[in-house]
Amino acid sequence: MNAPVIDPLQGDFPEVIEEYLEYGVMKCIAFNRRGTLLAAGCSDGSCVIWDFLTRGVATVLKDKDCVAAVTSVCWSKFGHRILVSAADKTLTVWDVVKREKVVQVTLQQSALQARLHTSSSSPSICLACPLSSAPMIVDLYTGNVTTLPISLPETDSTTAPPSRNRFSDGSAPFSPTAACFNKHGDLVYVGNSKGEILVIDHKSNQVRGVVPISGGSVIKNIVFSRNGKFLLTNSNDRTIRIYENLLPLKDGLRALDNIHETLKELPEAEKLKAIGSKCLALFREFQDSITRVHWKAPCFSGDGEWVVGGSANKGEHKIYIWDRAGRLVKILEGPKEALIDLAWHPVRPIIVSASLTGLIYIWAKDYVENWSAFAPDFKELEENEEYVEREDEFDLIPDNPKVKESDVDEDEEIDIMTVEKDTTFSDSDMSEDEVLYLRVDISPDVPEEQDKCIGMGDSNHSGSPLSEDAEQNGQGAKYASSPLDGMGCDAAAMDNSDTGGMPLKRKRKPSEKVLELQAERSKKPVPKTKPFGKSEKKNKPGVDQDSDMSN
Instruction: Write the CB contacts of 34 (distance below 8 Å, at least 6 apart in sequence).
Output: 79, 346, 347, 434, 436
Contact 210, 276 (CB under 8 A): yes
Buried-exposed string 106-115: b where 16+ CB fall within 10 A, e elsewhere: ebeebbbbbb
How far apart are alpha carbons 51 and 441 in whole angstroms?
12
For the chain, the C-alpha Rg in angstroms (whole number) is: 35
Q: How many whole angstroms separate alpha carbon 173 and alpha carbon 171?
A: 7
At residue 462, the pLDDT reads 36
Confirm if 48 and 57 have CB atoms less than 8 A apart: yes
Q: In which residue ranges of the chain is pLDDT below 50?
A: 1-9, 155-172, 427, 446, 448-507, 526, 529-551
| Contact between 72 and 114 (Cβ < 8 Å) | yes
**What's the confidence (pLDDT) of residue 3?**
42
Which amino acid is residue 389, in one-letter code? E
Domain ranges, ordered by start, for the chain: 12-152+173-364, 482-529
The pLDDT value given to residue 95: 94
Size of the chain in residues: 551
> Do 334 and 356 touch, CB atoms closer than 8 A?
no
Q: What are phi and psi of 116, to 5 degrees?
A: -75, 155
Could you tell me which residues are beta bridge partners of residue 333? 318
Give tens-digit pLDDT for 361-376. Answer: 999 998 777 766 677 7
**Distance between CA atoms of 39 and 60, rounded to whole angstroms?**
9
Q: What angle do CA 222, 223, 228 make, to 5 degrees?
A: 140
Q: How deeply is 409 buried, as exposed, middle or buried, from its count of CB atoms within 10 A (0-12, 13-18, 19+)?
A: exposed
- pLDDT digit string (tens) for 425-437? 654 555 557 888 8
The yes/no answer on whether domain 12-152+173-364 falls in CATH 3.40.50.150 is: no
* Cα separation of the two ends of the chain: 87
Beta strands in 5-156 (DSSP E): 16-21, 26-31, 37-42, 47-51, 56-61, 70-75, 81-86, 90-95, 100-106, 111-116, 125-130, 136-139, 145-147
Cβ neighbour number for residue 515 with a 10 Å cutoff: 16
Residue 466 DSSP SS3: helix
* Entry pTM: 0.70
User: Residue 294: what pLDDT?
Assistant: 93
Question: How many C-beta atoms surround the C-beta of residue 167 within 10 A?
Answer: 17
**pLDDT in the model for residue 268:** 87
